[in-house]
Structure 1
Amino acid sequence: MNALIPRPRSRPAPGAVHVPGWLSPEEQAELVAACRAWARGPVPMRRTRLPRGGVMSGHTMCLGWHWSPYAYSRIAHDVNGARVAAFPERLGELGRRAVADAYEDGAAGAAYAPDTVLVNFYGEGATMGMHQDKDEKSGAPVVSLSIGDTCVFRFGNTETRGKPYTDVELASGDLFVFGGPSRYAFHGVPKVLPGTGDPAVGLSGGRLNLTLRVTGLTD
């Protein structure tokens, strides 16, 4: 993709907005460094084991609330029994700005209060199957930030994992927000394009994805 040609924002479905180049290179580098620190614990990155025995090909860690299939808790019982680290206010600020910018609605942004982040790292050959984000008690939008290698992000419908869906290329720095009628749309990552990221942001390969959510849960 020619970086000299601006990529326009798009709306693949009602309530879903793709904003290319939303994070500056400096912000991306800051988040990469933060993810490296978070990955050291208290609950480290791991490959999540699914109830039927399969293991996800990417690596995941959580802050604020720990996600394991298919529930949230404060304690990572499926990893090391430690309490998950607190949700960083810096990410809350990013989330509010993201919703305001994506929906061009300052009030919606101000009201957005994410309390958990799932950080996914896609190494060589890693993918994510079509799924819904439906373990939250809140219908607030999901904010997705991409850093590193470009991926093919498949954004579908709310009824089935199959068609109709739209494939969107998410490059480093891109923002994708989905809420409203698309909040429970199936989505996945069928492919990551190796070597497409800029090493200057601190990743020599692979893709980082930070997904901010409002759980709607209380202690």
Structure 2
Amino acid sequence: MGRVKQKYNRREAEMRFERVYEIVEGDQCIYCGMPNDGKSDHQPPVYVLHRFADGGLVTKKAIRERFGRCKLVPCCTICNMGLGAFHGSTDNERRQEIVNWLLVDDRYPADKIVLDIANQLIEDHLQGRRGIEIYEFPGVGRVIYISALVGLIEGEFGGPDEFPDWLTVTQSELADWLRGAPRRKSKYFLDMANLESYELVPDARDDPRGQFKAQ
């Protein structure tokens, strides 16, 4: 008798594979350095283990032989949404997946103007000409996340401790602003990524970049 394919239920899958993951302690997102506010990311994603099990039983040994050490790492809500179920082999691959949502889209000439305006708003704020209302503009968040993620990817920074003062200050202020209203973090990701709804991009959650289609 063949295996019965199980429909993916994230909560059930997390409970099933919970003991496979080793918890990595920390209060900063491992990808961008923002406060993680107690949130975590599964490496590899739970969805990947669900597909690996393929409706059958699977042992910890088999999982570790295939994927290596499985970790639950500190991760902010925005980076977590940017990753979805992306299965990268390194943290820099994961950072690249996140930042791809935020980089200038050459298909839309006005997109570069958004980041130019955001940079000016940040400069005005740091010089005392504007207040924390600058964070309401999603372009400001994009500049902050792009600067951190690309800087870490390219080796400009060895970690958040090496971020320039302006980035440390704006990350802290952005984190405070994002905590100021329910669901503001998830809404901010959608605004930064120019998405109407996370539900409209199932690949962001279950099959990013079509990476599972050939399996």
Higher RCO (C-alpha 8 Å, min separation 6): 1
Identify the TM-score tier after normalising by the shorter chain: under 0.3
- TM-score, normalised to structure 1, is 0.26
Structure with the higher fraction of residues in strand conformation: 1
TM-score normalized by the length of structure 2: 0.27
